[in-house]
Structure 1
Amino acid sequence: MKIVQAIKEPNKPFKLNNSVALKEPLVLVFGNRYLLESDQIYAEVREMFPNGHIVFGTTSGEIIDNTVLDNCVVLTAIEFEKSSILVKRSNVDDFNNDDEKLGKSLMAEFPRENLRHLFVISEGSTVNGSALIAGIEHLGNTSFGLSGGLCGDDDRFERTLASYNENPKEGEIIAIGFYGETLEITSSNYGGWTTFGPERIITKSNGNVLYELDGKPALDLYKTYLGEKAKELPKSALLYPLSVKATQDSEALVRTILNIDEVENTMTLAGDVPEGARVQLMMSSVDDIVNGAFHAAELAIKDRKNPPELALLISCIGRKLVMDQRTEEEIEEVKAVIGDDTVIGGFYSYGEMAPFSGQDSCKLHNQTMTLTLFSE
């Protein structure tokens, strides 16, 4: 595996960390939405990697090595020497926003033989990540791993962009299939958030749209808890996500609010919030988040046979808001576990995709640190 990385600051060209020539590399380009809106961004990357498979995604912060950047673009180009990749794309508008149907259609484009892992970069403004995952895994997922994340737009929640081999645009969902017997790919996630306040029951919802808790308008209840911070919705909701337990015995999923509808008095979350599920507010601290990142890295590397050569990190914008000036500490904790020889790239997101530890089925998470580790 050969890897080249680069950073692009506003009004400057990409600065490469080395000049190694790569053959048909996978080129992951994660960056600030304003910079990826440039009409020249694709041409600029294509000039550096004429034969590359170029995937773009907007972010809420860029990760490279042990550094977190803002208002920049980070690039990681990977040549797999013993393996192969297949990249496919689709758009939510082509499926009338039926995200599960989109997931099924996207999965149908990937041959299953020797498929080791699917890594997804999805638009993050409107997608129901739970439905997308359900579509991808509709035939049962026992032979390959699934991880990835939802694109971000800092804390603006205006629009997110992604693309494959073209300028970034809205509504795109990109899936990267990794093939090869020598590939070892592991993924994991962990949060570090604590529940507080009364537990309530979801009495009315539809997919990822939440209408009522305990028979009362959910948005009104949420605003009551936020107090003055309700004026800053949906940004302020990142500091107080929801813990959602579908059944009494199921593991809790963390859900972040993507949008609110003042007219309908509803909240749209990044993943499903089924009726009958139990809900509680959550909060966290810097130390809890740092410890969560450390634990996520331990889980990702736990059963590996080979040391990782590449780590793709996707962490949530809510964690970044809590960490503030100490954001890099969670990246440093990950690096301390996976080792200095592992190349690190990634971004801050509106949602993360990974299975719970010890499980095969992938879930949509919020407020977690998610790692996907590669070696061949």
Structure 2
Amino acid sequence: MSFGPEQAPPDNWFGELAAHCPTAQHVYVSGGGQIIDGQVEDAITVVTFLQFDRATVHPVLLEGATVDGSEQIGVEVATRLRDISGLRHVLLFAEGITFNGSAFLSGLNPLLPEGVRVSGGMASNGTALSNSVIGLNGPPRTGRVVAVGLAGDSLIVGTGSVGGWDFFGPERVVTRADNTVLHELDGERALDVYKRYLGSFAEELPGSALLFPLAVRATRESPVTVRTCLSVDETDGTLRFAGDIPNGAMVRLMRTTPDKLADGAARAALLARTDAPRNDGQDSLTLCVSCIAAKQLDNDSLIDDVRTALETTGLDPARLMLEITESDVMREPDAALAKLNALKALGVRLAIDDFGTGYSSLSHLQFFPVDELKIDRSFIQRIEEGDREAAFVRTIVSLAKSLSVEVVAEGIEEVGQQRFLHSVGCDIGQGYLYSRPLPSAEVERFTEDARHVRPLVPIVPRRLA
């Protein structure tokens, strides 16, 4: 799968990619920007490879995607995919400018086998919102829909959706709409109302509309549906959205920032991973989210985000370990302490990572409600080089033990380091001594083998580094 700008790479790029992976199915989707290292980039192309051992892939390409024909395209996609043996999931990539997403799903979902879920998105072209392209095994074109059926009894797919939106302004009633086109709110031209709330962002339409979707409720008891604005018509004073806006529905403006969109993507990824549970009776795996960055500690919604993730996924809070670097904690220790106490009240476990690098006093440990302390690898690497480092590690372990805090040594590479850490009472070790980083397919085999191996000393790895 490739995600990039509407001006896709040259045709020979697609040929070279096909030659590199001759049996692969390649989908190209133009987008509103890729999130790289927390930044939204418009001009780059990101390529992702998915390889399945047993699952099968069944792509469908349809041309001529239009607003009026969206429901029928949904029917045709379902008709082509529904008889595939073992169908578990459908990945959807649709024309994003002249397409009705809700109409498409109304045609698709009723015809799919029970239990088959759909995820994906609609194409775009950055903030221009004027054109979008999609390709299957070749250069992309406009007006297309690609649906990829994933089948296989062993296939487990998790999904997550977090937008990062905040409500603002009062709720209003849709007094005139035509499918995806919104004409009036409370009897006033919809575009005039929209611009009034956008302020200076109104001058950047239609691109700025991506930051200001509508929350739509058919009735007061209905769940909220988020509708993204795709275009505006200055002459008619209308807005066109990615799905239907029912007459009489209640809508409220929402807003976000690129940072919040990036954070929402990260939170959605977490939900997707916890939405794919193992059902084979094997031991469950504690999820370590590394690391909570300083920006997240400053985020007022952090506690609610964690609570929502736990409630949504049903994950046992004791199975969630949140790691916070020492430097982030010590930047504003009083504020961090309040957040850590609130997180602890949710029942999750807390760890201080990279301990020894944040210039904190060891006495601070008695105030932080942490379950685990992770000694930075830089100290472990120098244990055998001098008495100072060894004494420092010995002191950390001793104090942590007195506070009933578990100690993890990071970056163990030598047997001598392991023996010293065991001698001073360190609980857990991780590092290359136990294993180099492994592909996901090999992790399960490694853990199974490790159950039958007696370590040199009782310090054993719990997490691969």
TM normalised by structure 2 equals 0.56
User: Is it true that 1:91 corresponds to 2:69 in the alignment?
Assistant: no
Separation of aligned partners in 2, 1:33 and 1:85: 25
Residue by residue, what CA displacement relative to the aligned partner does 1:300-341 show, whole Å, maximum 9, x if unpaired? 233533499xxxxxxxxxxxxxxxxxxxxxxxx99xx999xx
Report the equivalent of 2:161. 189
Separation of aligned partners in 2, 1:265 and 1:66: 35
Separation of aligned partners in 1, 2:34 and 2:53: 27
Residue by residue, what CA displacement relative to the aligned partner does 1:262-304 show, whole Å, maximum 9, x if unpaired? 2222110111111111011112367765664454344323353
**Other structure's SS at 1:78 match:** coil
The answer to whether the Cα contact below 8 Å between 2:39 and 2:258 also exists between their aligned partners in 1 is no
Residues 240 and 60 (structure 1 numbering): CA distance in 2 closer, same or farther, change over 3 Å? Answer: closer
Deviation at 1:58, TM superposition (A): 0.9
5 Å-filtered alignment, 1:118-157, equals 118-139=90-111, 142-157=114-129
Deviation at 1:48, TM superposition (A): 1.8
The answer to whether the Cα contact below 8 Å between 1:64 and 1:74 also exists between their aligned partners in 2 is no
User: Is it true that 1:46 corresponds to 2:18 in the alignment?
Assistant: yes
**Other structure's SS at 2:11 match:** coil
Separation of aligned partners in 1, 2:175 and 2:67: 27
5 Å-filtered alignment, 1:262-281, equals 262-281=234-253
Report the equivalent of 1:35. 8
Separation of aligned partners in 2, 1:53 and 1:190: 28
User: Is it true that 1:168 corresponds to 2:137 in the alignment?
Assistant: no
Deviation at 1:68, TM superposition (A): 5.9
Structure 2: give runs of 5+ residues left out of the alignment: 279-283, 286-305, 310-319, 323-439, 445-465
The answer to whether the Cα contact below 8 Å between 1:59 and 1:154 also exists between their aligned partners in 2 is yes
Deviation at 1:211, TM superposition (A): 0.8
User: Identity across aligned pairs (percent)?
Assistant: 35
User: Is it true that 1:282 corresponds to 2:254 in the alignment?
Assistant: yes
Residues 162 and 140 (structure 1 numbering): CA distance in 2 closer, same or farther, change over 3 Å? Answer: closer
The answer to whether the Cα contact below 8 Å between 2:11 and 2:138 also exists between their aligned partners in 1 is no
Q: Greater CA deviation, 45-54 or 149-158?
A: 45-54
Report the equivalent of 1:104. 75
User: Is it true that 1:220 corresponds to 2:205 in the alignment?
Assistant: no
The answer to whether the Cα contact below 8 Å between 1:301 and 1:338 also exists between their aligned partners in 2 is no
The answer to whether the Cα contact below 8 Å between 2:90 and 2:116 also exists between their aligned partners in 1 is yes
Bigger Rg, structure 1 or 2? 2
Residues 76 and 229 (structure 1 numbering): CA distance in 2 closer, same or farther, change over 3 Å? Answer: closer
2:153 partner letter: E
The answer to whether the Cα contact below 8 Å between 1:35 and 1:71 also exists between their aligned partners in 2 is no
The answer to whether the Cα contact below 8 Å between 2:211 and 2:257 also exists between their aligned partners in 1 is no
The answer to whether the Cα contact below 8 Å between 1:297 and 1:338 also exists between their aligned partners in 2 is no
The answer to whether the Cα contact below 8 Å between 1:123 and 1:161 also exists between their aligned partners in 2 is yes
Report the equivalent of 2:183. 211
Deviation at 1:106, TM superposition (A): 1.3
From the two aligned structures, give the one with the greater helix fraction: 2
Residue by residue, what CA displacement relative to the aligned partner does 1:90-131 show, whole Å, maximum 9, x if unpaired? 1235x7841011110111111253100000011211111111
Report the equivalent of 1:234. 206
TM normalised by structure 1 equals 0.68
Which gives a bigger RCO, structure 1 or 2 (Cα 8 Å, sep 6+)? Answer: 1
Deviation at 1:155, TM superposition (A): 0.9
Aligned with 1:75 (options 33, 47, 61): 47
**Other structure's SS at 2:92 match:** strand
From the two aligned structures, give the one with the greater strand fraction: 1
Residue by residue, what CA displacement relative to the aligned partner does 1:203-258 show, whole Å, maximum 9, x if unpaired? 11111111111122111211222234322211122232211111111211122211
